[in-house]
């Protein structure tokens, strides 16, 4: 409880979660104008849990997480809102403060392990250098730690493989190396940006299970970014559905996957192929394309693609952008009434 009182004592700190993102705004200057990649996003992550963030390309998933790590290009990017990591505000934190956090307390796993690992250095060195930088370890200690980490992520013959280069490993093994590198300092928060997208399905499952096991051992909080609801169902506790730089729906995995409330979530769920379904039933993709963040549509950004605008009221949908409601627990940003949502969801479920 001391942590709560501590954070309560700080002015400006909202919420008492381990990681709290409040009204985050990220925009880029481009030649065509200002792109509002993230536009008023709020979420929280608790220790030892996994938050899955889903959304189409360009919904602002990755940008959000680069902003948490401070990896955006400072010349072109404008940040707004607040990111609280325990009792530290990350927006506006100094470069050295961020360098101390990165790799040590907040680590990141990227999508493509082949391009994300340096081709010029052995995996042992790449893992070890993080440990040396943050823990002040000697070369020998760092090497031993690298071997230990490789063993922990299930790479056979770690003692000899530590001197191999990334191109000597298969895709799945490379992602394990990436995970070993991210976890070498026992971070409190791990951000995994599409960690399984570049891998084939069986390897995907292995990597997700590995992340789960490691989380149980260390109590690391994980933000798992993906566009694959299957990955969410397997690995996440909480889900945040992102659309056009903001949350469309938020809740536990069970709530969002079994009782989705936002038409966009319905669309995502209907567009997943099911093994049991007859082959002649066509997939139902969400019509239209994600909006350009240079000039997002007014009101609810999903309304041009939404089948329920008439039911909710066109004035509402094109007027103000809806916020998540209720503010905590299972919430969604849609103007349909609770009864309408249940009715439409029932219809969709009936069709399948």
Instruction: Name the site residues for another protein (rule: CB under 8 A).
Output: 69, 71, 99-104, 107-108, 110, 112, 115-121, 129-130, 133-134, 165, 167, 181
Cβ proximity to another protein: between 169 and 243 the closer is 169
Q: Which residue has the tokens 């948490």?
A: 68
Cβ proximity to another protein: between 189 and 306 the closer is 189
Cβ proximity to another protein: between 164 and 228 the closer is 164
Give CA–CA dist 253/58, Å, rounded. Answer: 22
* Beta strands, E only, the chain: 19-30, 33-45, 50-54, 77-85, 88-89, 106-109, 189-193, 221-226, 238-243, 246-252, 331-332
Closest approach of Cβ 206 to another protein, in Å? 21
Give CA–CA dist 20/192, Å, rounded. Answer: 17
Cβ proximity to another protein: between 47 and 72 the closer is 72
Cβ proximity to another protein: between 108 and 345 the closer is 108
Closest approach of Cβ 139 to another protein, in Å? 15
Cβ proximity to another protein: between 78 and 323 the closer is 78
What strands lie across the sheet with 331-332, from one edge to the other? 106-109, 189-193, 221-226, 50-54, 238-243, 246-252, 331-332
Burial 234-269 (b: 16+ CB within 10 A, else e): bbbbbbbbbbbbbbbbbbebebbbeebbbbbbbbbb
Give CA–CA dist 183/35, Å, rounded. Answer: 33
Closest approach of Cβ 235 to another protein, in Å? 21
Closest approach of Cβ 119 to another protein, in Å? 6
Task: Tell me the torsion sign for CA atoms 97, 103, 108, 113.
Answer: positive
Q: What does the H/E/C string look like for 85-147? A: ECCEECCCCCHHHHHHHECCCEEEECCCHHHHCCCCCCHHHHHHHHHHHHHCCCHHHHHHHHH
Closest approach of Cβ 132 to another protein, in Å? 11
Closest approach of Cβ 68 to another protein, in Å? 11
Cβ proximity to another protein: between 77 and 252 the closer is 77
Closest approach of Cβ 103 to another protein, in Å? 4
């Amino acid at each position: 409880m001391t942590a709560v009182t501590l954070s309560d004592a700080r002015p400006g700190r909202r919420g008492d979660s381990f990681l709290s993102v409040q009204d985050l705004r990220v925009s880029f200057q481009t030649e065509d104008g200002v792109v509002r990649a993230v536009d008023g996003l709020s979420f929280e992550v608790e220790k030892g849990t996994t938050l899955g963030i889903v959304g189409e390309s360009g919904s602002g998933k990755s940008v959000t997480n680069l902003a948490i790590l401070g990896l955006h290009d400072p010349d072109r990017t404008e940040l707004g809102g607040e990111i609280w990591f325990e009792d530290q505000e990350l927006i506006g934190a100094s470069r050295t403060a961020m360098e101390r956090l990165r790799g040590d307390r907040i680590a990141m796993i990227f999508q493509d392990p082949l391009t994300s690992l340096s081709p010029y250095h052995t995996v042992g060195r790449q893992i070890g250098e993080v440990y040396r930088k943050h823990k002040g370890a000697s070369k020998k200690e760092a090497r031993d730690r690298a071997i230990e980490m490789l063993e922990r992520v299930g790479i056979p013959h770690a003692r000899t493989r530590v001197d191999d280069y990334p191109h000597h490993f298969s895709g799945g093994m490379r992602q394990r190396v990436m995970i070993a590198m991210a976890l070498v300092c026992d971070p409190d928060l791990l951000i995994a940006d599409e960690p399984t997208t570049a891998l084939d399905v069986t390897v995907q499952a292995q990597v997700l299970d590995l992340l789960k096991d490691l989380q149980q051992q260390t109590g690391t909080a994980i933000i798992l970014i993906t566009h694959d609801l299957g990955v969410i169902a397997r690995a996440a506790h909480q889900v945040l559905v992102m659309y056009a730089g903001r949350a469309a729906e938020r809740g536990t995995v069970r709530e969002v996957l079994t009782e989705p409330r936002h038409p966009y979530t319905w669309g995502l769920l209907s567009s997943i192929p099911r093994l049991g379904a007859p082959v002649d039933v066509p997939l139902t993709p969400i019509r239209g394309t994600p909006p350009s963040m240079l000039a997002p549509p007014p009101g609810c950004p999903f309304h041009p693609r939404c089948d329920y605008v008439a039911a909710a009221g066109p004035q509402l949908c094109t007027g103000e952008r809806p916020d998540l409601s209720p503010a905590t627990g299972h919430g969604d940003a849609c103007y349909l009434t609770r009864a309408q949502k249940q009715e439409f969801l029932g219809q969709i479920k009936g069709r399948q």
